[in-house]
Amino acid sequence: MLLSLLLSLTLPSEGAAYYFVDAGTRGMARGGAYVAGNEDLTAQYYNPAALINLNSGQVMLNFSLVSQKADFQRLELDESGEISQRFGGVDNIASPMRIPSFGIAHHFGLPDTMFAIGLHPPYAPDKTYTSGGAQRYTLIDAKTTQFYAGISAAHQVSDWLTIGAGLLWNMTRARQSLALNVCNAGKPDDPDGCEDSDPALTDLQLGMKMLDKGKLTGNVGVLITPHKQWTIGLSVMPPIDVEGDGHLNAKFSEDHWLNALLESGETQDDDIRVLMKLPLVIRGGIQFEPQDNLAIEFAAVYEHWSRSKETRVEDVSAPLTLNSTATAFAPDDFDPEVPIVGPVVIPQNYRNSVSYRLGTEWDALQWLTLRSGVYYEASAIPDKSLGVSLMDGNKIGYGLGASYSPTSLPFSFDLAISQAFLGTNKIRNSQLTQLTVPIDPRPALTGDPVSTTIERGRVVGNGDLTSRLTMLSAGVTWYFGKPTPRSHTPSD
């Protein structure tokens, strides 16, 4: 029963609501405006119909670093909303997340068709804070890995229409930990009690890992070229229901008051199940080419996050076992295990998100292409839920990049940088509260069940949160034959 209650605040989703820009070096440089004018293997992710733009068979490898700088100073507010206490500031100290992507494409002698296979993860950062920081009741660390891998194809039906589709395998892995306050309800005024507890005596660190090894999904897309200077792109990726198997562990602080009553200050469950929903994603873009060496694209992305009402944790079984001290006067048939019940339902109530991107690409020289882009994205996270664990918000960003293509070699080398700015959020109406579980162990002395209740304690999400994301990416593409200039008709 205890740990099922504790779980109810541990799993805020780390899906696409937190992705910044999109996949690939060139797409990053264009601010994610790469739906209609995509010319590399990340078309598998953005719009499979755009694979027709590749012009020749090729192999692509990209490698990116994603780092989020975040500063948070937690504040305690009094009843009038004035600051009554300032806690020490904390920083996100996670190392940059390393994200590879790759793909292979060829038309196999079919001039109007292009096939591809590859792996393309969307971009999101890791989060790590000190375990004793003032943010620990919201988050200590979190890491999510997701990727799409599979096969795609594009076919040019006519001079003005290309259709494309992909069959993709989605893998999702998540890890998260935080601290909870498990206090002694039998001694409310003591340091280990519930009135003004000492964290060293009442903290419980809870960790969770889950893995969904794969869900079969896909995407479809079209390219419409009503005029040689104009291209319209549209793609749709259906929603995904993640069903991950996982592991749960809980460890009381070394001096926790409950250790004296337990066989062990740790417990775990190697067979929990986590269910959550990822959104329908619709991408659209219009590219204009005023001259042969210049392209300008406006794109928009809609993510239907309102379908994510909750996350469920099922099959929880990690009991705490009372020791002989706690059960010294209990009947012989007394069960010393504190039972666990489930499932656990974690409310989310996300909202739909829309982003707007504007990108340019200029072939400055025969061997040099320059790219740039800007974007704005509306947050999928309600303002009252923002914090170090749900570190989103309305954001603006830019991308810059270039490609070097030696005229004598069938290679292209790409570089890009992108930054997203969430600004400073002065959170004064937070609904993020410390999870407090008062436990009164005295009934166990007479053989009665030990009951637990979950309470939302003091607000721990108010404060000043400043965040900035920086992404660096490099890529190389090897062509099976030198590609032709920008065109929508593949060559041999």
pLDDT category of residue 223 using cuts at 50, 70 and 90:
very high
472 against 192, higher pLDDT: 472
Q: What integer pLDDT is reported at residue 116 of this predicted model?
A: 97
Q: What integer pLDDT is reported at residue 121 of this predicted model?
A: 84
Q: What is the average pLDDT across 338-358?
A: 77
Q: What integer pLDDT is reported at residue 120 of this predicted model?
A: 87
Q: What is the average pLDDT across 151-164?
A: 97
pLDDT category of residue 491 using cuts at 50, 70 and 90:
very low
For the chain, which domains are there? 2-479 (2.40.160.60)
Question: pTM (2 decimals)?
Answer: 0.87
What span, in angstroms and rounded, lies between the C-alpha atoms of 331 and 447? 6
Q: What integer pLDDT is reported at residue 74 of this predicted model?
A: 93
Q: What integer pLDDT is reported at residue 42 of this predicted model?
A: 94
- Average pLDDT score over the chain: 86
443 against 454, higher pLDDT: 443
Residue 366 above 80 pLDDT? yes
Q: What is the average pLDDT across 352-358?
A: 94
User: Per-residue pLDDT tens for 286-328?
Assistant: 999 999 999 999 999 999 998 887 778 888 777 778 888 777 7
SS3 string, the chain, reads CHHHHHHHHCCCCCCHHHCCCCCCHHHHHCCCCCCCCCCCCCHHHHCHHHHHHHCCCEEEEEEEEEEEEEEEEEEEECCCCCEEEECCCEECCCCCEEEEEEEEEECCCCCCEEEEEEEECCCCCCEECCCCCCCCCCCCEEEEEEEEEEEEEEEECCCCEEEEEEEEEEEEEEEEEEEEEEEECCCCCCCCECCCCCHHHHEEEEEEEEEEEEEEEEEEEEEEEEECCEEEEEEEECCEEEEEEEEEEEEECCCCHHHHHECCCEEEEEEEEEEEEECCEEEEEEEEEEECCEEEEEEEEEECHHHCCEEEEECCCCCEEECCCCCCCCCCCCCCEECCCCCEEEECCCCCEEEEEEEEEEEEECCEEEEEEEEEECCCCCHHHCCCCCCCCCEEEEEEEEEECCCCCCEEEEEEEEEEEEEEEEECCCCCEEEEEEECCHHHHHCCCCCECCEEEEECCCEEEEEEEEEEEEEEEEECCCCCCCCCCCCC
15 against 462, higher pLDDT: 462
193 against 405, higher pLDDT: 405
Residue 492 above 50 pLDDT? no
Q: What integer pLDDT is reported at residue 289 of this predicted model?
A: 97
Q: Which of 141-155, 214-228, 263-277, 437-451 has the lowest mean pLDDT?
A: 437-451
The CA-CA-CA angle for residues 122, 123, 126, to 5°, reads 135
User: Per-residue pLDDT tens for 374-387?
Assistant: 999 988 887 788 88
